Amino acid sequence: MVRNAPPLYVGQLNTPDSDRVTTAFDGILQRRYYTNHGPLVAELEARLAERLGVRNVICVTNGTVALMVAAKASNLSGKVILPAYTFPATAQALTFAGLEPVLADVDPRTHNLTAATVAPLIDADVSAIVGVHMWGRACDVDALAGIAGEHTLSLAFDAAHGFGCGYMDRSVGGFGRFETFSFHATKILNCAEGGCVSTNDDDLAQAIRTVANFHDRPGDVSVSLRINGKMSEAQAAMGLLSLEDFDANVAANRDRYLAYRAAIRDIDGLTFVDHASDGPSNYQYVVLEVEEHFGRSQEDLMRFLQERDVIARRYFYPGMHRVPPYDTTDWDVPETDRLCSRVLQLPSGDGIGGADIDRVVSILRDAKA
């Protein structure tokens, strides 16, 4: 194999220029204040709350811990319904919070759970529904709020993909009792590692702050269990820089997304997942479904791309419902199985230019059998 270009990866990092990073980190060193609710964390929380249009943002170590501490602080119990088609962290966090994940199927178009996929799973042991805004496309939050209300269940969202996205003209961040975000290095807004919970419920916010800090702080309320979930000043510094660049990063993502969409539409047998067409988006994910008549399977196409240094990824393979500890139940999730065997994510994000997209698309055309 002739290798004439550097590999292109899914999950490119947004990189602020190094002099801004140096200035921010010099400030941390001068203050000699590295962690424990420092000034940069406070500033990031205030800016995120403003940006999301919510009353409270609590920054924590990562997106998984965000969901763990928010679930604990909400006093959820027993079973929680979530989509089978998601990153494993959604279920793992709930399991760590002492809950029992119940996996719902998703809609074939939106890749999100719906009132219809949730309804058959509701029984007396279910206390909550946790939706995931897959690829940043918001769940049908009104329909989910309807079914949650009917059965007096809590509703919350894993919005790890969803920073800057919206449902109709409402920003993700204020839906349900709480929403959680990931600021992992590969997400649109990144702290290297990081995450937050957003909520309009002031009492819940205080309970989350209490759970996410192992002991003794003014304002603590009574909670059942506590843990260290604190965000450090270094993480917050990265997050503040990333937030400054956010609009520019979204605009660049949008150009990439539209270029891929225009090109992939012409390739028979590949369906571009146009998740950004339903509402405000951060355009972070370029996703396609490999149809049967493409002539190559998802796995075949992934290998064909990887052999040519385009490191496309199957999402989510083989599917959370098929790996421990969740594979002991025979989940009835045919659409999730279908997606797990069809979906490929293509390289996008910072560092992927127009020529790279042309190269990926031309390999996709060559791959068509």
Ligand X SMILES: *Cc1c(COP(=O)(O)O)cnc(C)c1O
Per CB under 6 A, residues contacting ligand X are 62-64, 86-87, 89-90, 132, 158, 160-161, 182, 184, 195
H or E element in which residue 156 lies: strand 154-158
User: Sign of the CA dihedral 180, 185, 339, 111?
Assistant: positive
Nearer Cβ to ligand X, position 74 or 90?
90
H or E element in which residue 173 lies: none
Nearer Cβ to ligand X, position 189 or 240?
189
Nearer Cβ to ligand X, position 343 or 364?
343
| CB 161 to ligand X: min, Å | 5
Nearer Cβ to ligand X, position 184 or 342?
184
101 DSSP assignment? E
| CB 274 to ligand X: min, Å | 19
| CB 29 to ligand X: min, Å | 26
- Alpha-carbon distance of 225 to 211, in angstroms, equals 6
- Alpha-carbon distance of 211 to 229, in angstroms, equals 8
H or E element in which residue 366 lies: helix 354-367
| CB 135 to ligand X: min, Å | 9
> CA distances (Å), 146 to each of 149, 173, 182, in order?
5, 18, 27
Nearer Cβ to ligand X, position 72 or 161?
161
- Alpha-carbon distance of 265 to 283, in angstroms, equals 17
| CB 256 to ligand X: min, Å | 19
| CB 91 to ligand X: min, Å | 9
Nearer Cβ to ligand X, position 167 or 294?
167
| CB 362 to ligand X: min, Å | 29
Which residues, 6+ apart, have CB-to-CB distance to 272 below 8 Å? 260, 261, 264, 265, 287, 288
Burial class for 7, CB neighbours closer than 10 Å (0-12, 13-18, 19+): exposed
Nearer Cβ to ligand X, position 283 or 294?
283
Nearer Cβ to ligand X, position 89 or 264?
89
| Token pair for 98 | 């002492």
B/e letters for 209-223, b = 16+ CB within 10 Å, e = fewer, are: bbbbbeeeeeeeeeb
- Alpha-carbon distance of 141 to 124, in angstroms, equals 22
- State which amino acid sits at residue 91: A
Q: Which residue is nearest to ligand X (CB)?
A: 63
| CB 57 to ligand X: min, Å | 15
